Chains A and B, each alone.
Chain A
Amino acid sequence: QVQLVQSGAEVKKPGASVKVSCRASGYTFTAYVFHWVRQAPGQRLEWMGWINGDNGNTKYSQDFQGTVTITRDAPANTAYMELSSLESHDTAVYYCASHPWGTYSLDHWGQGTLVTVSS
């Protein structure tokens, strides 16, 4: 069945970068779009950006422009989200989610990855 499996929890120091992976299984990676969503403790969901699994085209939220980079390795069925210049407010659970190209809702979700930024 369709599944998104994310990498494990990370602890980083302020100023560092983190790269979270999201491996897809059960469907054709290149027919899907992959999104990243942030949720700080007790806070709402925030959309960060998306990547086309086929051609690698990306689109980012203005709120994260310049600090987030989303990439993918199609042969490995994996999408990545890298967040740089980490600050304490970046402490959050990061989710990947996907949908077929040509649709517009987040059908499938990963389990979430907790990133903790602490000195």
Chain B
Amino acid sequence: QSALTQPASVSGSPGQSVTISCSGTSSDVGRVNRVSWYQQHPGKAPKLMIYDVSNRPSGISNRFSGSKSGSTASLTISGLQAEDEADYYCYSLTSTSTYVFGTGTQVTVL
């Protein structure tokens, strides 16, 4: 199972919006709405930010939103803040009941 494809890095100024794409196939992202997104700060465990494509867990800011079109999922961070600077990973269920992570995207707040 190949990793889902994400851009290596995205950046934006405080207050701007950034969007991270996550490209998969008809066997994973394109198959079911079981895509989630994780934020990881250096030296810390990942944290769930979005589940089932577009749902936010309790306590996650509404500045984070998710969507999907075909085999590509996206995470948008609106009103970018310094604390959003981190690595972000998408994650998807596959057709064989396994899972796969994306390649990861480093978000930089300029």
Q: Please report A residues at the B interface, Cβ cutoff 8 Å.
A: 35, 37, 44-47, 49-50, 59-63, 95, 97, 103-107, 109-112
Contact = CB atoms under 8 A, between A and B. Distances in A.
Interface residues of B: mostly helix, strand, loop or mixed?
strand
Contact of B57 (A59, A61, A97, A107): A107
Contact of B36 (A59, A105, A109, A110): A105
Interface in B43-60: 45-48, 51-52, 57
Contacts of B91: 45, 47, 105-106
A61 B36 contact: no
Given A103-B51, A105-B36, A105-B51, A44 B103 contact: yes
Contacts of A61: 1, 98-99
Contacts of A97: 46
Interface residues of B, number: 24
B40 to A, nearest CB: 8
A45 B102 CA distance: 8
